[in-house]
Amino acid sequence: MVASCGRAGGEDTGHEYMPDMAHSIAYEANYNSYYRNNTWGTEEDYRKMAEPRKPVANTIARGESVYHYEESERERAMAELNNAVTPANQEELDDILTRGGNLYNIYCAVCHGEEGNGNGPLYNNGDGPYPARPASFISDDFIKAGNSDGRFYHAIVYGKGVMQSHTDKLNPEERWEVIHYIRSLQGIKSGTAYDINAVGAVKVNVAPDTTAVEIEEPAHDEHAPH
């Protein structure tokens, strides 16, 4: 009894009786929960548990999306994919363009340029550190028909040439928002406002399901052991 009443002070918590009860041995992702009185494992064990890990193979996390095209199926993606984020009115489109614009300026503009002309600061007419010329979204090639939303989406998912995949930077909804924004940049270039009426006009086909997968909550059985 007396021994358990060690005095605490400064960084020292004093003696602890059964510290595993006070300091959980459960661990959280990306947080090193090592505490000197933990008895489950060494400091090194705890550090390892806090490291980022890959998702479990062959599983789909709740809310995660599935992209149904292989990298080699670019042509098919171009022919079939439409923007899955469909604003119902101008107000919703304005919000999408604000979010998409922010994301574009963070993740794409360094290479593709703020106006989408392929001449961002990293390329800078060939004087920048980046060796390859990024695609110009406001070139005729990208504005004219045949350049479906799928072309953009496919490039964001798999990258293209020296461009890396951006799936770790943008979730599926954000990718489509960025694509809306690129369409609006093209509108500025071609002098046709990208408003709610124009959104429908760029559609090519019916989009296959690229939206988030919803997994139903299993029915709760009161008698099942927890």
Residue 49 vs 174, nearer CB to ligand HEC: 174
Distance separating alpha carbons of residues 42 and 205, to the nearest angstrom = 57
Max alpha carbon distance in the chain (Å)?
83
Q: Would you call 126 exposed, middle or buried from its count of C-beta atoms within 10 A (0-12, 13-18, 19+)?
A: exposed
**Residue number with CB closer to ligand HEC (23 or 166):** 166
Q: Nearest CA to 108 among 66, 147, 136, 146?
A: 136
**Closest residue to ligand HEC, based on beta-carbon distance:** 161
Q: C-beta of 197: minimal distance to ligand HEC in Å?
A: 24
Least separation in angstroms between residue 8's CB and ligand HEC is: 51
- The CB-of-184 to ligand HEC minimum distance in angstroms stands at 13
Sign of the C-alpha dihedral computed for residues 179, 180, 182 and 187 taken in this order: positive
Picking from 157, 117, 148, the residue whose alpha carbon sits closest to that of residue 133 is: 117
Q: In terms of CB distance, is 23 or 151 closer to ligand HEC?
A: 151
* Residue ranges that bind ligand HEC, judged by CB under 6 A: 107-108, 110-112, 122, 130, 132, 134-135, 151-152, 155-156, 160-163, 166, 170, 178
Shortest Å, Cβ 142 to ligand HEC: 8
Please state, in angstroms and rounded to a whole number, the distance separating the CA atoms of residues 45 and 25.
Answer: 11
Tell me whether residue 49 or residue 157 sits nearer to ligand HEC (CB atom): 157
